[in-house]
Structures are given as structure tokens and as C-alpha cells.
């Protein structure tokens, strides 16, 4: 696969990711929850993530800044990995996977770096405004927009004999994510499922 095609994958995912986030941010109040096509197990549920995956955060006044800077450094490394893999003619499995991971990581970085500057606050009573005169944050302190929710099982209950959580209720699948998160997950999934093909010995160096 050529570098142009790999970059095209990245750009297309970034466009879809950012268009979907901006639409949700400017049309939904915070924690608004609606079914898609009447399906209770497929919902649009608008939340904002201030930290890492699964809502985890780095404590301290500079935790968010540290996380954002780490993401930027990581994206730089992934970008070089993509460039090097294309030039060395590695498998399309690997190149597509890296492209997906790069696009996803970059998509969430855009939120973290810029959203605090271009939006005002979202709240349960207020829909955010794009390019607001009263932005909610500063550079590197934006919140990541999440919206896809698949509560396939909403009234599950662990059996009494189950360790730790025995007898407790649970929801499956209770994560809320976005297009960027999905791209990262698919990229990692391809690497895991097609590991041998992805990391097969390259056929030669690409000169064009």
C-alpha cells in the first residue's frame, strides 16, 4: 500500500470523527440519550471524557496537560511507524492497522488540544456553541466527545457464586465511545487477529 492511500485512510476517519463530534456537541445537551432507529441496545449518549480510556484521569493540576502531551508524542511515534512500514513494504494488514490507530489517536488529540478553545460548556440544560466568545477551557485542556453506546444487556446479574461481584447487577456493554476510539480498537484487533500476516517479512523497500 502506498503512503498516499494510508494517509487517505487517516484523513477520512478524521473527517468522520470530527464531523460526528461537532454535530453531537452542537445539537445535544450533556448526557442526552436517544435510541437509534428505536433500538434500545444502540443509543446516542453524549458524554465528555476528561481523561484516558474508560474515564480514568491523571490526578493533579497538570494531569490533563501531561496526558495530552503524552498523546502528541505517541502520535508522532505512530506516524513514523506508519511511514517506515510503508517504505519497507510491510503487509497491508500492518499498514491499515497503523493508519486506523494513528487516525483514532489524532482524532482524540484534536478534542484535547482545541475543543476547550472553540466551544463553551455543555451541560444538561445547555447545548454548546461552536466558536463561542466564552470558551470552557484553554489549549491542551479540552474534553473528548463520546457518543456511541451499546447497552446490549441492561438488567444482567452476576450469579451468587461469581467472585467479587456475585449477586450484583451489571450492564453489557456499558462503554461510551466515538469514531476515533472505534478506529483504534479495530486497528489493534487486526494486529491481534492477523498478527503473523501483519508482521510478515517485507518483500522489499518501496522506492516511490
181 classed as catalytic: yes
Nearest to 24 by CA among 146, 108, 109, 133: 146
Which is it for the CA torsion 11, 136, 30, 170, positive or negative? positive
pLDDT, mean of residues 189-200: 94
Q: Which residue has the higher pLDDT, 53 or 23?
A: 23
Q: Which residue has the higher pLDDT, 52 or 122?
A: 122
Alpha carbon distances (Å) from 192 to 16, 45, 165, 185, 189: 25, 29, 29, 10, 5
Q: What is the pLDDT of residue 50?
A: 74
Q: What is the pLDDT of residue 208?
A: 47
Q: What is the pLDDT of residue 53?
A: 52
Q: State the pLDDT confidence band at 156, using cuts at 50, 70 and 90.
A: confident
The answer to whether position 208 is within a domain reads no
The answer to whether position 60 is within a domain reads yes
pLDDT, mean of residues 53-74: 72
146 classed as catalytic: yes
Q: What is the pLDDT of residue 207?
A: 46
Q: What is the dihedral of CA 89, 91, 96, 101, to 10 degrees?
A: -90
Number of CB atoms found within 10 A of residue 66's CB: 12
Out of 17, 111, 120, 146, pick the active-site residue: 146
Structural domain of 180: 3-198
Out of 17, 111, 120, 181, pick the active-site residue: 181
The answer to whether position 18 is within a domain reads yes
Q: What is the pLDDT of residue 59?
A: 60
Q: What is the pLDDT of residue 68?
A: 84
The answer to whether position 63 is within a domain reads yes
Alpha carbon distances (Å) from 46 to 68, 148, 154, 186, 203: 21, 8, 18, 22, 46
How many whole angstroms separate alpha carbon 168 and alpha carbon 162?
9
- Is pLDDT at 185 greater than 70 in this prediction? yes
Q: What is the pLDDT of residue 169?
A: 86
Q: State the pLDDT confidence band at 71, using cuts at 50, 70 and 90.
A: confident
The answer to whether position 205 is within a domain reads no
The answer to whether position 160 is within a domain reads yes
The answer to whether position 207 is within a domain reads no
The answer to whether position 206 is within a domain reads no
The total domain count for the chain is 1
Residue with cell 482524532: 107
Q: What is the pLDDT of residue 193?
A: 96
Q: Which residue has the higher pLDDT, 186 or 49?
A: 186
How many whole angstroms separate alpha carbon 162 and alpha carbon 113?
42
Amino acid at each position: 500500500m502506498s503512503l498516499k492511500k494510508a494517509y487517505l485512510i487517516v484523513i477520512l476517519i478524521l473527517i468522520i470523527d470530527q464531523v460526528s463530534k461537532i454535530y453531537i456537541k452542537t445539537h445535544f445537551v450533556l448526557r442526552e440519550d436517544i435510541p437509534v432507529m428505536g433500538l434500545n441496545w444502540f443509543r446516542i449518549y453524549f458524554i465528555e471524557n476528561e481523561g484516558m480510556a474508560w474515564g480514568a484521569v491523571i490526578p493533579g493540576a497538570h494531569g490533563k496537560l501531561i496526558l495530552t502531551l503524552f498523546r502528541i508524542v505517541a502520535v508522532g511515534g505512530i506516524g513514523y511507524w506508519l511511514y517506515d512500514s510503508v517504505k519497507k513494504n510491510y503487509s497491508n494488514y500492518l499498514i491499515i492497522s497503523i493508519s486506523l490507530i494513528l487516525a483514532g489517536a489524532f482524532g482524540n488529540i484534536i478534542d484535547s488540544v482545541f475543543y476547550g478553545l472553540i466551544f463553551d460548556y455543555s451541560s444538561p440544560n445547555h447545548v454548546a456553541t461552536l466558536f463561542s466568545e466564552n470558551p470552557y477551557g484553554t489549549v491542551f485542556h479540552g474534553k473528548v466527545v463520546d457518543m456511541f453506546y451499546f447497552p446490549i444487556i441492561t438488567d444482567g446479574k452476576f450469579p451468587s457464586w461469581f467472585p467479587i461481584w456475585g449477586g450484583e447487577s451489571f450492564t453489557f456493554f456499558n462503554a461510551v465511545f466515538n469514531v476515533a476510539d472505534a478506529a483504534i480498537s479495530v486497528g489493534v484487533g487486526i494486529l491481534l487477529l492477523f498478527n503473523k500476516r501483519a508482521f510478515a517479512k517485507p518483500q522489499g523497500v518501496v522506492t516511490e
